[in-house]
Structure 1
Amino acid sequence: MYRHRDSTHRWGAEPAPGRRHARREKLVEHPKPVVVVSRCLEFEPVRYNAQVIPYDFIRELEPFVEYRPVCPELEIGLGVPRDPIRIVTIDGEARLVQPDTDRDVTVEMREFSDAFLGSLDVVDGFILKNRSPSCGITDVKIYRGIEPSSSSTRGAGFFGGRVLDLYPGLAIEDEGRLRNYTIREHFLTKLFTLTRFRKLKESGAMRDLVRFQAENKLLLMAYSQKELRAMGRIVANPEKEPFERVIARYEEHLHAALSRLPRYTSVINVLEHAAGYFKNELKGREKAFYRESLARYRNRQVPISAVSSILRAWIVRFDEEYLLPQTFFMPYPEPLMSLSDSGKGRIG
């Protein structure tokens, strides 16, 4: 490639009875997502200037995903190196043009985008080049005229915009935004959650949906209690609807729940709820260390993984039956839970 229980536990709550005799559950498993990625990101020197963009995140993620690299501009025959292209509004319509050659590649890009995206049997997410007139999903310059001095607005590129149209519920980001650790955590959480859900859909079994809902309860609680309740009612299936109808309704609410970053106050509530399970198991210094870490998260100094990793250690140490399979504590593979970016980029 390159060169549950109800959310009532707090520190003062009583621990669940019989926990010391809990049956050890298997920790979270993470099937590999299929991710479409811009080919110029770490893969090959296919940018307009014949360069490749070094990107550590792509390399670190590689063991845990299946990549589908693509360069739309290369695929429509623009070559490497090539004169830059830009989006220009002409007679009220966005066109993809190459100003230095007066070439209009709008039709070619639209046809390629539909053909490539339509050929994907499976896809769970996208990592695309930011600000690219082809791959960009936000913040792409859209010029009001062909002249170099023309003013511009911002929007999506031709390929990136089509991705957003066809896959609105998937994990879709650009490499610029993924340098922000909060956005990166959300992207990874969404990506691996949707991949687990895809595997569940393939099973066609209601029991697997029931287990998925149970294992993701705390995660969904952090994202949206409203959607969590709606999904719980769907899983209960009082009308005994067929799996296909139930799973379609459930998927709609799952996408809604994961459509935006969770509020950090909701995340804190889930963390405190989980910490209550260990009230009588921990020494004072352990509790103090946890509270200090939680305070740093509350003050936006560290990512959530800095706190959840503490709880995850306690869950394994005390063999907490209910919390062991909860994806909230390991929503994506542990090696990706880097703490190196420990102060920048907190959102919300």
Structure 2
Amino acid sequence: MTAHPVITKDSRIPVGISACLLGSPVRHDGGHKHSRYCTEVLDRYFQFHPLCPEMGAGLPAPRQAMRLVEIDGGIRLCATHGEKDFTALMHGFIDQGLERLAHLRGFVLMAKSPSCGMERVRVYRADGEVARRDASGLFASALARRFPLMPLEEEGRLNDDGLRENFVERVFVYDDWCRLRENGVTAEGLLAFHRRHKFQLLAHCQATYRRMGPLLSDLKRRPLPVIADEYIARVMPALARRVSRGSHVNTMLHLTGFLREGLSTEDRRLIHQQIEAYQREEVPLVVPMTMLRSAQSKVEQPYLATQEYLCPYPDALGLRNRL
């Protein structure tokens, strides 16, 4: 199996990011929330496009602090102190700016922000008391509605090993899909995409994996763009599901079956031994996965050589070392 293609500075994947996470002094107090993981690790593979919705809406830094307020059944973006309402400014920026983000393959958002928070943003009542804590920021909400397939994640959640790995994996899959669309979807291209990501899908969601075969079995019964849209609309949400340890074990055993004829009894025993050790949480995912990749290179099984599950992103990210 070949390793993931080398990513150069010019071939990095375009990903949006809240500007404060890159160290820009754009927050309401004139400060920032610099994320070293983003600037020192992900920056090697992602070409970050910074954006601050509040600055984009024409507000200065520093500026009045803002929060979401529920008024007459609607959500308004208001000054924390005083009666200033910034909702129209924010919606104006959103209406004019969202289409310029269509080239992005993902977005890293600032948590708890009334504009960028992805979830768990507080909504206040007019009297200043907290009404609920389950909202999204105005910009983040609009971004998710306009680009429902685009991987979104909050910077703070990237501290979770599983969430971090899942986000990065989805960005690479979504980038692959966007490049397919940009080059024009063909029946051959759609089927090749499915083959590449088939075992990733199996690991994330067996139900979706089983449905995709029938969907792609006859590409002439409906217009190809319709089938392609239905396909990716099912696949991307499925990939957003975290893979359980048991699902990884099931997928690795499935892959091992393709190598059975070309491996010695001892090689098969060692692979199964490490898969079982992973299941017992004695070794990280990278250990049995490395053995599978090594076995595949010995056997030269063409079908497995195309599988992104074995190498969904550059090894240097080390994401499977902690799973």
Post-superposition Cα deviations, 1:93-146, rounded to whole Å, max 9, x if no partner, equal 211111335321011111112221122241221110011111001011111235
The letter of the residue matching 2:196 is: E
Name the residue aligned to 1:244. Answer: 225
TM-superposed deviation, 1:28: 4.7
Counterpart in the other structure of 1:20: none
TM-score (norm 2): 0.86
- Please, what TM-score do these two structures have when normalized by structure 1? 0.80
Contact 1:315–1:323 (8 Å) recurs in 2:
yes
Q: May I ask how many residue pairs the two structures share in their alignment?
A: 315
In structure 2, the residue matched to 1:291 is 273
Distance 2:320 2:24 in 1: 28
Match of 2:180?
Answer: 200
For the residues of structure 2 that align with 1:159 and 1:238, how far apart are their CA atoms? 37
Tell me the distance in 2 between the aligned counterparts of 1:105 and 1:229. Answer: 47
How many Å separate the matches in 1 of 2:43 and 2:252?
30
**What is the distance in 2 between the residues matched to 1:300 and 1:42?**
35
Residue matched to 2:253: 272
Report Cα offsets for 1:53-94 as digits up to 9, x if no partner.
232331211232232210111222332222311111123321
Conservation of the 8 A alpha-carbon contact between 2:161 and 2:319: no
Work out the CA distance in 1 between the residues paired with 2:51 and 2:90: 13
User: Which residue of 2 is the match for residue 14 of structure 1?
Assistant: none
* Alpha-carbon displacement from aligned partner over 1:220-254 (angstroms, at most 9, x marks no partner): 11122322232222322253544322312222222
CA contact (8 A) 2:14 2:46 kept: yes
Identity %, equivalent residues? 28
Contact 1:290 1:310 in 2 (8 A): no
Give the match's secondary structure for 1:168.
Answer: coil
> Residues 302, 218 of structure 1: CA spacing in aligned structure 2 closer, same or farther, 3 A cutoff?
same
Aligned to 2:138: 158
Aligned to 1:58: 38
Equivalent positions of 1:60-209 (< 5 A) are 60-147=41-128, 150-154=129-133, 155-204=135-184, 205-209=186-190
Structure 1 stretches lacking a partner, 5+ long: 1-24, 344-348
Q: Give the secondary structure class of the aligned counterpart of 2:113.
A: coil
1:325 is matched with which residue: 290, 297, 306?
306
| Structure 1 residue aligned with 2:235 | 254
Change (3 A) 1:133 1:146: farther
SS in 1 for 2:16: strand
Counterpart amino acid of residue 81 in structure 1:
P
Q: Distance in 1 between matches of 2:75 and 2:95?
A: 17
Partner SS, residue 108 of structure 2: strand
Deviation at 1:26, TM superposition (A): 5.2
| Contact kept in structure 2, 1:72 and 1:109, CA below 8 Å | yes
Q: CA RMSD in A?
A: 2.7
Instruction: Tell me which amino acid in the other structure corresponds to 2:249.
Output: I
Partner Cα distance (2:278, 2:37) in 1: 23
What CA distance in whole angstroms lies between the structure 1 residues aligned with 2:319 and 2:287? 9
2:13 paired residue number: 33
Q: Aligned to 1:47, which of 27, 31, 56?
A: 27
- Greater shift, 26-35 or 309-318, is seen at 26-35
Report what 1:11 is aligned to.
Answer: none
Q: In 2, distance between residues paired with 1:121 and 1:169?
A: 11
Cα distance between partner residues in 2 of 1:282 and 1:101: 75
Shift in alpha-carbon separation, 1:257–1:277, aligned structure 2, 3 A: same
Three-state SS of the structure 1 residue aligned to 2:78 is: strand
Shift of 1:160: 1.0
Distance 1:320 1:334 in 2: 21
The alignment partner of 1:222 has SS state of helix
CA displacement 1:290-312 (0-9 Å, x = unmatched): 634x3454345765345423322
Q: CA deviation at 1:207?
A: 1.1
1:317 CA drift (Å): 4.1
After TM superposition, the structure 1 stretch with the greater mean CA deviation from structure 2, 56-65 or 322-331, is 56-65
Partner Cα distance (1:174, 1:124) in 2: 15
CA distance in 2, matches of 1:174, 1:91: 29
The Cα shift of 1:156 comes to 0.6
Task: Report what 1:18 is aligned to.
Answer: none
Change in 2 beyond 3 A, CA 1:81/1:305: farther
